[in-house]
Structures are given as structure tokens and as C-alpha cells.
Amino acid sequence: MKHSKLSNVESEMKNFIFAAFLFIGACIPAMAQTKDANPADVGSIDAIMKAVYDVISGDAGQKRDWGRFRSLFHKDAKLIPSGKNRETGVVGARFMTADEYATNSGPFLERDGFHEREISRHTDQYGNIAQVFSTYAAFRKKDDKEPFMRGINSFQLMNDGKRWWVINIYWQAETPDNPIPKTFLSNK
């Protein structure tokens, strides 16, 4: 009888140890990502916001640092442009990973020039999560005075206790029938 109880305890202990190794193994890729980011880019909400805008901005012909870009995003993060289809009138969204954004949008940003500047920010934070409504203006050249586009980026951020991560960026460009409200054109 004692032998049977001991076997059950040993079996449960082995299962626990195996489960612990599986959990640690699953966490290693996410922990390894933190080595790629410059600590100055991910040390605060302000820092990660500035880094995102900085890394995608540049004049025509200027290469972007897509490694730096990817280092800002959680491995499961999404970039989600949304808006109304001009032909159908249907509002929709497209979901991309950071890699897909760099691959699909990167060539256009580098070819045509793209500078995105934050013009207003509204931040709500609770514990380790933050929601940031960041109003932006987009320019082709760094010294352009008038934007060719404006809109609102909705950032979802998370701090894992060591750094901030972009979890999602969900955005919509301003249109004549959907102007940016004054509330989001000035800082709180």
C-alpha cells in the first residue's frame, strides 16, 4: 500500500516538473525578444510612442530600421488599419503582424517618403496596461508644412515589469465626412 501511494506522489511530481519545463520553454521566446530592443525605446510610454513614430518616419529613399521596429512589438501584436471602402461604403479592418507591416508597407514608406508626427495624445493607464489615443499628421518630407493625411492611432501597450510592448496599433484616417473631433486635437 505504501508503495502505491509513493508511486502516485512520484508520478504527480514528475507531471508537475514536466509541466513547469513546458511553461518555461514557452516563455523563453518572449523573454528573448527583450534583448533586441534598445532600453531607451521601451522604458516608458512616452519612449515607446516616440520610437514607433521615429522608426517609420523618413524621406523618400531613406531606409527604415525594421529590426528596431519589430523590437517594439510583442510577438503576437497586430497593426490594424481601418476605414470605409471607397467603392462599397463598407467599414472594415485589416490585420497585420509587425513583419507583415514591414514587408508590405515598408517599400511604400521608403519610396514615397513618410513622416508621421504625433499632434495630440490621450492616455489611460491601469496597472501594466495602457490605451493611448494618439492623433497624428502625416507628411511626405520632414520639412513639409501641411500634412497629406491625419488620423488617430489607438495604441494598446503592456509593461511586463521590464519594458513596454506594443500589443496593437489600431488606426483610422480622417475623412471629410469623419473629421477628428476637437477633443483629440489637444492634449488633456
Residue 54 sits in a domain whose CATH number is 3.10.450.50
User: Based on the domain organization, do 82 and 163 belong to the same domain?
Assistant: yes
2 and 89 together in one domain: no
Whether 19 and 43 map to the same domain: the answer is: no
Of 125, 118, 106, 119, the closest CA to residue 164 belongs to 125
Containing structural domain, residue 9: 1-33
3-state SS string for 51-108? HHHHHHCECCCCCCCHHHHHHCEEEEEEEEEEEECCCCCCEEECCECHHHHHHHHHHH
Q: Both 45 and 86 in a single domain?
A: yes
Assess whether 23 and 91 both reside in one domain.
no
Answer for the pair 166, 50: CB distance below 8 angstroms, yes or no.
no
**Whether 20 and 43 share a structural domain:** no
pLDDT string in tens for the chain (188-residue length):
555 555 555 555 444 444 444 444 444 444 334 458 999 999 999 999 999 999 999 999 999 999 999 999 999 999 999 999 889 999 999 999 999 999 999 999 999 999 999 999 999 999 999 999 999 999 999 999 999 999 999 999 999 999 999 999 999 999 999 999 999 998 86
The domain total for the chain is 2
Q: Clarify whether residues 134 and 61 are in a common domain.
A: yes
